[in-house]
Amino acid sequence: EVQVVESGGGLVQPGGTLRLSCEASGFSFSSYSMNWVRQAPGKGLEWVSYISSGSSSTRYVDSVKGRFTISRDNAKNSLYLQMNSLRVEDTAVYYCARDGNMDVWGQGTTVTVSS
Amino acid sequence: DIQMTQSPSSLSASVGDRVTITCRASQGISNYLAWFQQKPGKAPKSLIYAASSLQSGVPSKFSGSGSGTDFTLTINTLQPEDFATYYCQQYNIFPYTFGQGTKLEIK
């Protein structure tokens, strides 16, 4: 079964850090680009970051540039999002999604930034 | 950034109806357009990619069309499980962007 499973969310204070993980199975992970997408409570979907299949290209939404870093380990079939200097407005469910057309999504992991 | 505008933002319909949701891009995106369905508390589900291609396993009652700046999602013969929020998304140019969503409710 093709699937991705996120983990690593939690409650963190403003200015804190978290590292999200996304483990893929059932497909050739190294052949696909990957994305992180988030959804704040009661709001719509927002694309956060992209990484190419071989990690040569990464992209970010302006609001997280310089604070978040996307990476992957193809040997471990895993995608990561290092989140530093977290803000209250980063509170959201974070999803990993496969490829540009986002054909496969995980169940999401919840990040809450609050004092 | 490319702005994606969906209309309507909400829609009431009855079981058995056919509905159409429109998505307009602020600049041309060729056919790099996807549609998603999301139910409360659940992850989005991919329905359509490349504007008109049905994802594997998605029933043929869903169809997409359009190219350039104007796109539509049509859902035929609504069933109770189709009432959800629908999003379009462009993946032609970074940053990828989503429409604001269309909430489809039972009349």
Distance from the B70 Cα atom to the nearest Cα atom in chain A, whole angstroms: 18
Q: Which of A46, A43, A20 is nearest to A111 (CA)?
A: A20
d(CA A106, CA B31): 25
Residue tagged 């995980």 (tokens): A106
Taking CA atoms, B44 is separated from A15, A86, B5, B41, B102, in Å, by 29, 25, 18, 10, 13
Task: Identify the pLDDT of residue A16.
Answer: 98
Low-confidence ranges of chain B (pLDDT < 70): none
Neighbours of B64 (CB within 10 A): 23
d(CA A80, CA A51): 10
Residue tagged 């694309």 (tokens): A47
Question: Are B43 and A108 inside 8 Å of each other by CB?
Answer: yes
Q: Which of A32, A72, A33 is nearest to A50 (CA)?
A: A33
Residue A87 contacts B where some CB pair is shorter than 8 Å: no
Question: Are B101 and A102 inside 8 Å of each other by CB?
Answer: no
Q: What phi and psi values does residue A72 have, to the nearest 5 degrees?
A: -150, 155
Compute the C-alpha angle B13/A101/A22, nearest 5°: 105
Neighbours of B55 (CB within 10 A): 17
Q: Which of A23, A20, A25, A22 is nearest to A9 (CA)?
A: A20
Q: What is the pLDDT of residues B63-83, one digit of tens each?
A: 999 999 999 999 999 999 999
DSSP character at residue B68: T
d(CA B2, CA B93): 8
Question: In the numeric block, which tokens belong to residue A41?
Answer: 């409570």
Q: Which of A97, A101, A98 is nearest to B88 (CA)?
A: A101
- pLDDT tens series, chain A, 115 aa: 999 999 999 999 999 999 999 999 999 999 999 999 999 999 999 999 999 999 999 999 999 999 999 999 999 999 999 999 999 999 999 999 999 999 999 999 999 999 9
Question: Rounded to a whole number, what is the largest CA-CA distance in chain B?
Answer: 38
Interfacial A residues in 10-49 facing B (CB < 8 Å): 35, 37, 44-47
d(CA B40, CA A63): 26
